[in-house]
Structure 1
Amino acid sequence: MASETGGVSLGLPDVFYRRLFSLIPIESLDSVLGELAAVWCEATAAKAAYLVQFDQESLELTAGLFRRSQAEADCFTQASIRIDQSRSLTEQARSIAEQGRPFSLISSSSFHYIAIPCAQISLAGVFLFSNQSSNDLLALSSELTEISRRLLTQAWETGNRQDSQHDDCHTCQTEVEQGKTIRQRVLPSTDKLEAMAEFAAGAGHEINNPVATIAGRVQMLLKQETDPERRQSLATIGGQAYRIRDMIGDAMLFGRPPAPRPTAVNLSKTINDVQHSLHEAIQDSGVLLTVDLPGVPCLRADETQLKVVISNLMLNCLNVLEPGGQICISAKEKIVDAVPMVHLEITDDGPGLSEQEQEHLFDPFYSARQAGRGLGFGLSKCWRIVELHGGQIEAETCQERGVTFHLFWPLDETEN
């Protein structure tokens, strides 16, 4: 991301992660190339970014071009591309790319070529048109290269399968109760979230290593630095590196969470413990919380992970409510797919969900709150934990007000 002085800051900002994660599951190669080109251009403050993917068997070039002066990416496919094997790989890449779009028509700035290694693709890379030095652009290139590699690989695999694996995957379903209230059920897209989890686990590990190196070097330099201004600059760099580390840590926990250690857990006691831990937040918010749990039997759960789920769902409600708002928690036994479960409902009377929130509600890095106030991992983490316990989670919103989170959790049958 460009600073006010034109340089590139350390670490890919959260907003770009949210944009790239929203591409999963891959729907079309054009959408991936266009958004990737836009992110490369904006994150590196380049004049233009030209992202190319070439298939040597079909001699077909597919590309996305984004210019800072334009609002949309230009995506296109060019067939019958010629290859000059006598040239170096970089020269070949340029020759192939210019058969799609001549560089002289893209920008007058010099260009930097960054290869994106994808085993299944003959050639993939990005041309950044920028007057900045290569060293300035390298600050984010490794991070963006790895993300681009994973997305392009998934796009290639999706295109080659030529199936419609997501046709039956509905994230939203509409229900009308006796012709009166229209209720919208928001379901996690399992295929999408599983793809995101795999992406986060792999990318997180590779990003975490250079971030740890940066943070470690900063600490070494701080021990010897006496100049106040330089110490402040180093502290800022270290703080941002630790912020990236924490974000990547959440991503890795989402991608590869610890296996649950289920035992018989008393739901009433668990909710009381969560309520006690959130006492200050509930009191400061001015929200009325009511709990109705008549004789609910024990759940089969990892108690710590169950508390994480309930805490995140309650915080999600608290974050949208004005003073005087209400949160109601209730539970009852229910048979779901022949499995005895507890149906836990957490309801608020807040403003409900917009169409965008319904689409991305369970996505990692997505947050409906003001940018910078949260990474948006709460609900995706809930889905991950619930899935590992063999449960289900969904949200429900209606035209008037409010959201209800439905949590279906297996009972502990050994207690029955």
Structure 2
Amino acid sequence: MLSETGALSLDLPDAYYRRLFALIPARSLESILNALSEVWCEAAVADASYIAVFDRRSQQLTGSIHRASPNETECFVANAIQSAHAGSEREQAESIFTQGRSFSRISDSPYEFYSIPSNQTEVVGVCLFSATRLTEKQPLISQLVELSQRLLAQVLDLKPALSNTVAEDTAAAERRVLPRVDKLEAMAEFAAGAGHEINNPVATIVGRVQMLLKGETDPERRRALTTIGGQAYRVRDMISDAMLFGRPPVPRPSLHNLKQTTEEVLASLDEAITHSESQLTVEIPESHSIWADETQWKVVLSNLILNSLNVLETGGQIRIVSEELTAGEKRSLHLRVIDNGPGLTDQEREHLFDPFFSARQAGRGLGFGLSKCWRIVSLHGGSIEAETNIDQGVTFHLIWPAENPAESENK
């Protein structure tokens, strides 16, 4: 990335870290490779980048190529790739990569190959096509290598566990609704900045209304001022939500019993559940724990339950189900909130996690409920997505750490 002086930045900007870590825990190798290939190309101001993973057992190469000039990303899977046995690590990797896509068809620029260490049996690396020669010792490249290693370790570790718990067939993939991370990040930045600017005039309006009310005796004018103040307070509350979405408090996670915290959330929503006459069942083993900021976790679960209650007919059903995922030494939880409501329209599928998206006729996606859920889940290193059920209703899938990530790394 070029600095104001025209030279390449030494360090990787924080925006790239936020952009990529919002994808953790990774559930799709292709999506991670696509995101990484774009970031490598953009950050290094290269003509193109080609990042790929080769599985020696299946002889399958999964790769992604991003070209800067047309600004396009291509992901592909190539089978029956022959693994080279002679030559250096770089030469073997280049031989494998060229079988997937010929370098001459990607770019005319010279390229450098950067290996990404992997604990699995895969060969992972990046070919960066650029007129500028960048060595692995430069901070930008070493940071990109380290970041890529951490992201790919997530998806390569979780791949076997996820394939057993979540169907990966094409039909299921088409039913899933994943948040547009880049769009939500842009909205969060806007909300944080604009919220501060809007808050100042709103505070002035509220203050002036309070001052005028003190000396006003005319009933009609008092009612008018009260209405103005009430609407100003409403704007203030919406701005507060926007600012919390843009710059939420840093989570202070600790270990909690999942079933106990879920029961506490249900107790707080008892009136809403009773009023809706819905049936709610919890299928969570006593042994399941969750690594989370307790307050923020309860906000997520409350919003997902309320989201379902808003659309259910009398006698509707909600199930909360927890399963444990184990990948190596890491433990995560796969949490599902399932309802038998009307499902999602095409418009709702597209905007489900957008702030202020209103689908009042269905009751989904109002205000900051689901976007706030996405924000909190991402900050905890988890992921959230929605899936339209085959029979009826919607399932929200959450992947959430079941233990302190630092402790699992030290096991």
TM-score bracket for the superposition, by shorter chain length: 0.5 to 0.7
Deviation of 1:298 after TM superposition, in Å, equals 1.5
Q: For the residues of structure 1 that align with 2:353 and 2:380, how far apart are their CA atoms? A: 17
* 2:191 is the alignment partner of 1:235: no
Distance across 2 between alignment mates of 1:268 and 1:253: 27
CA RMSD of aligned residues (A): 3.0
Deviation at 1:324, TM superposition (A): 1.0
- 1:322 pairs, out of 303, 306, 313, with 313
1:190-339 equivalences in 2 (<5 Å): 190-335=181-326, 339=330
**Pairwise CA distance, 1:370:** 4.8
Structure 1 match to 2:178: 187
* More displaced stretch, 362-371 vs 286-295: 362-371
Rate the CA distance shift 1:375–1:349 in 2: closer, same or farther, 3 A. Answer: closer
Instruction: After TM superposition, give the deviation of residue 180 of structure 1 in Å.
Output: 8.7
User: What secondary structure, in the 3-state scheme, does the structure 2 residue paired with 1:363 have?
Assistant: coil
Q: 1:214 to 1:370 in 2, by over 3 A?
A: farther
Alignment match, 1:346: 337
Superposition deviation, residue 340 in structure 1 = 2.0
Q: Name which of 368, 372, 376 aligns with 1:385.
A: 376
- The 2-side partners of 1:231 and 1:394 are apart by 48
Structure 1 unaligned blocks of 5 or more:
1-160, 169-174
CA offset at residue 296 of structure 1?
Answer: 4.0
- Equivalent residue letter for 2:198: I
Greater shift, 307-316 or 404-413, is seen at 404-413
Equivalent AA in structure 1 for residue 355 of structure 2? P
Give the deviation of 1:411 after TM superposition.
1.2
- Given that 2:310 and 2:362 are in contact with CA atoms closer than 8 Å, whether structure 1 keeps it comes out as no
Which amino acid is 1:286 matched to? E
* Cα distance in 1, alignment partners of residues 357 and 73 from structure 2: 21
Count of paired positions:
251
**1:252 counterpart letter in structure 2:** M
Q: What is the rounded CA distance, in whole Å, between the counterparts of 2:300 and 2:250 in structure 1?
A: 15
SS of alignment partner, residue 405 of structure 1: strand
Deviations 1:338-362 (A, max 9, x none): 8420001110000000000000000
In 1, Cα distance between equivalents of 2:280 and 2:363: 28
CA contact (8 A) 1:296 1:333 kept: no
Per-residue Cα deviation, 1:265-308 (whole angstroms, up to 9, x for no partner): 11101100000000111111010001011244321110010000
Assess if the C-alpha contact under 8 Å between 2:339 and 2:395 holds in 1. yes
Secondary structure of the 2:175 match is strand
Contact 1:260 1:305 in 2 (8 A): yes
Counterparts in 2 of 1:371 and 1:234: CA distance versus 1, 3 Å: farther
* Contact 1:296 1:331 (C-alpha < 8 Å) held by counterparts: no
Alpha-carbon separation, structure 2, partners of 1:239 and 1:282: 29
Distance in 2, matches of 1:249 and 1:210, equals 14
**% same residue:** 64
Aligned with 2:400 (options 384, 395, 409) = 409
Q: Equivalents in 2 of 1:344, 1:372: separation in Å? A: 22
Report the AA paired with residue 192 of structure 1: K
Cα distance in structure 2, aligned partners of 1:260 and 1:247: 22
Distance 1:376 1:296, change over 3 A: farther
Q: Distance in 1 between matches of 2:305 and 2:259?
A: 15
Query: Secondary structure of the residue that 1:376 maps to in structure 2?
Result: coil
Measured after TM superposition, the shift of residue 164 of structure 1 is 4.1
> Is 226-235 or 251-260 further displaced after alignment?
226-235
Classify the secondary structure of the residue corresponding to 1:365: coil
Q: Secondary structure at the match of 1:214?
A: helix
